[in-house]
Amino acid sequence: MSEISIHDRVERFLDRKFRASRSFATKETYKGAINKFADFAYQDYNQELGKFLDNMLNNVLDPIEVLDNFYTYLTKTPNPLSKKIGYSNATIRQYVTTAKEFLNDVGCKIYSEDIRRKFKLPRQIMTYTEGLTKEIIAQILRLANYKLATVILIACSSGMRLGEILQLKLSDIDFTTNPTTIGIRAETTKTREGRITHISREAAQALKDYLAKSKTAKNNDDYIFLFNHEKILERLSEEEKSRRRVRATIHNFENQLNHVIADIPELNKRAENMRFQVHFHAFRYFFK
């Protein structure tokens, strides 16, 4: 199997996952799992992914045995997030399952029953995460710049995901209702289903002040928070432009939040799953 063909097979697999989810984040998650599987093939078998797949398709290697060894590899590989040896049970399940689906996609017939006869995937352990309090959120808002503070207030009062907030257009906001109404467009949501939510009076006022001060959104089709970077994006397709703009803006806001909490011990703490307790999804938890 040539490198070109293996590249095409990987892209076909990822495109199918994207087609089902319509989520670039989901596609990137699957891509990360395939890359880790390729690393495993090189480190444990000294084979490039194309040759590795050929050997399984030609019955030189047993795919079930390979998946079992991949499981073991993930338990012994340093985790770049926690800086400990081994990935979490949830990540191991995700990576092994993705590898199995990919092998099936390229022609290796693997059934769940065959895997269960060989090994069992680890149970997903529920970890405790301490919720954010009003006092913590108020402290973060005092330290944040007005743009970041506006996004945090919207997240806390609406339950919107960060990506949904950052893709809001001026036409999505209806300040004439009480409370202010936000129409979340289907193409910006994880489930690809549109919905309606509301924001608090404080969040609405912060958004009005931000719009007046920033003057970034003048027309109904203008994005309120999304970065532009036209020089970087001019050679990309429209779909790729949209994806890059969203990812760049999300990373920027995540970095801004991390910078705010970095020097405050009571905020800069990690939960049992090694994730920082203060993150944008935690604001969504607070809303719920």
pLDDT tens digits, one per residue of 112-151: 888 888 888 888 666 656 778 899 999 999 999 999 999 9
Q: In the chain, pLDDT over 90 holds for what percent of residues?
A: 53
**Pick from 60, 67, 113: which is nearest to 93 by CA?**
67
Q: How far is it, in rounded angstroms, from Cα 114 to Cα 135?
A: 52
The pLDDT assigned to 257 comes to 93
d(CA 283, CA 159): 7
pLDDT band with cut points at 50, 70 and 90 for residue 80: confident
The alpha carbons of the chain give a radius of gyration, in whole angstroms, of: 22
Q: Are 258 and 167 in contact (CB under 8 A)?
A: no
Q: Give yes or no for a contact between 215 and 236, defined as CB atoms under 8 angstroms apart.
A: no
Distance CA(82)–CA(88), nearest Å, equals 9
Q: Per the confidence metrics, is the pTM higher than 0.75?
A: no
Whether residue 68 is predicted with pLDDT greater than 90 in this model: the reply is yes
Measure the CA–CA gap between 169 and 167, rounded to whole angstroms: 6
Measure the CA–CA gap between 160 and 151, rounded to whole angstroms.
10
The two structure tokens encoding residue 40: 């495993």
- The rounded distance, in Å, linking the Cα atoms of 171 and 186 is 14
Give the pairing type, strands 180-184 and 173-174. Answer: antiparallel
Model confidence band, residue 233 (pLDDT cutoffs 50, 70, 90): very low
Structure-block tokens of residue 77: 């590989």
Regarding predicted confidence, which is higher, 137 or 268?
A: 137
Question: Angle, nearest 10°, between helix axes 146-158 and 238-261?
Answer: 100
Check residue 269 and give its pLDDT. Answer: 73
